[in-house]
Amino acid sequence: MSVEVDVLLQEAKESIEAAQNYRSELQQRLHGLNQARKQIRGSSGQARETLRKHFAELQAAATRLLAERLANLLTEVDTIEADSIKPLDDCQSLIEHGVGQADELLREGEAALRCGLGEKEDKLGSFTKKAMHIQLDSLPEVPALVDVPCVSAQFDDSLLSLLRDRVARHGAVSSHPPVQIEELQERPGSILVRWCKVDEDFAAADYRLQYRRSGSGGSQYEDAYIGRESEFLVLHLDPHTDYLFRVCARGEGRTEWSPWSIPQTGYTTLAPHEWRSGTEGYILSSRKNIALRNDSSQSRCPVLYSKAPTYFCGQTLTFKISASGQMDRRDSLGVCIDSESEEESLQRDQAVCISTNGAVFVNGKEMTNQLPAVTVGSAVTFDMEVVSLFPISNNNTSEGGNFKLRVTIGSGNREVVFDWLVDQPVDCLFFGCSFVHSGWKGEAVKKLQTADLHQGMKNLSAPGT
Residue 338, CA distances (Å) to 57, 375, 376, 412, 426 in order: 64, 28, 29, 28, 10
Same domain, 292 and 432: yes
253, pLDDT greater than 60? yes
Rounded Cα distance, 227 and 376, in Å = 27
Same domain, 378 and 426: yes
Residue 272, CA distances (Å) to 132, 187, 188, 337 in order: 111, 8, 4, 18
Same domain, 89 and 224: no
Q: Which one of 234, 268, 302 terminates a domain?
A: 268
Q: Looking at the domain assignment, is residue 24 inside a domain?
A: yes
Whether this model's pTM surpasses 0.85: no
325, pLDDT greater than 90? no
Same domain, 259 and 382: no
Q: Which of 443, 439, 460, 437 is nearest to 331 (CA)?
A: 437
Q: Looking at the domain assignment, is residue 234 inside a domain?
A: yes
Residue 303's pLDDT band, with cuts at 50, 70 and 90, is: confident
34, pLDDT greater than 60? yes
Name, of 142-146, 398-402, 430-434, the range with top average pLDDT. Answer: 430-434
Residues 200-228 have a mean pLDDT of 89
Q: Which of 262, 267, 265 is nearest to 36 (CA)?
A: 262
Q: Looking at the domain assignment, is residue 319 inside a domain?
A: yes
Rounded Cα distance, 414 and 379, in Å = 11
**pLDDT tens-digit readout, 36-93:** 999 899 989 999 999 999 999 999 999 999 999 999 999 999 999 999 888 888 888 8
Q: What is the pLDDT of residue 129?
A: 72
Residue 392's pLDDT band, with cuts at 50, 70 and 90, is: very low
What's 239's domain CATH number?
2.60.40.10
**pLDDT tens-digit readout, 107-150:** 777 776 777 666 666 767 777 777 667 766 677 788 888 888 89
Q: What is the pLDDT of residue 121?
A: 67
Q: Which one of 209, 233, 268 terminates a domain?
A: 268
Rounded Cα distance, 317 and 337, in Å = 15
Q: Looking at the domain assignment, is residue 463 inside a domain?
A: no
Residue type, 385: E
Q: What is the pLDDT of residue 454?
A: 32
Q: Looking at the domain assignment, is residue 275 inside a domain?
A: no
What's 325's domain CATH number?
2.60.120.920
DSSP 237: P
User: Which residues are CB-contacts of 235 (< 8 A; sequence separation ≥ 6)?
Assistant: 189, 190, 444, 446, 449, 464
Q: What is the pLDDT of residue 120?
A: 67
Same domain, 50 and 134: yes
Rounded Cα distance, 149 and 77, in Å = 11
Same domain, 165 and 70: yes
Same domain, 424 and 317: yes
Rounded to the nearest integer, the mean pLDDT of the chain is 83
Q: What is the pLDDT of residue 210?
A: 96
Rounded Cα distance, 194 and 186, in Å = 12
Q: Looking at the domain assignment, is residue 276 inside a domain?
A: no
Q: What is the pLDDT of residue 70?
A: 94
Cα 158 to chain centroid distance, Å, stands at 40
Q: Which of 204, 179, 206, 184 is nearest to 194 (CA)?
A: 184
Q: What is the pLDDT of residue 235?
A: 86
Q: Which one of 225, 245, 268 terminates a domain?
A: 268
Q: What is the pLDDT of residue 205?
A: 93
Same domain, 335 and 441: yes
Instruction: Give the residue with greater pLDDT, 9 vs 48.
Output: 48
Residues 397-421 have a mean pLDDT of 81
Residues 303-317 have a mean pLDDT of 86
The number of domains in the chain is: 3
Same domain, 68 and 139: yes
Q: In terms of residue numbers, what domain contains 188?
A: 179-268
Same domain, 362 and 435: yes
User: Residues of the chain with pLDDT > 90: what percent?
Assistant: 38
Q: Looking at the domain assignment, is residue 314 inside a domain?
A: yes
382, pLDDT greater than 80? yes
Same domain, 316 and 421: yes
Q: Looking at the domain assignment, is residue 417 inside a domain?
A: yes
Q: What is the largest CA-CA distance in the chain?
A: 172
Same domain, 241 and 339: no
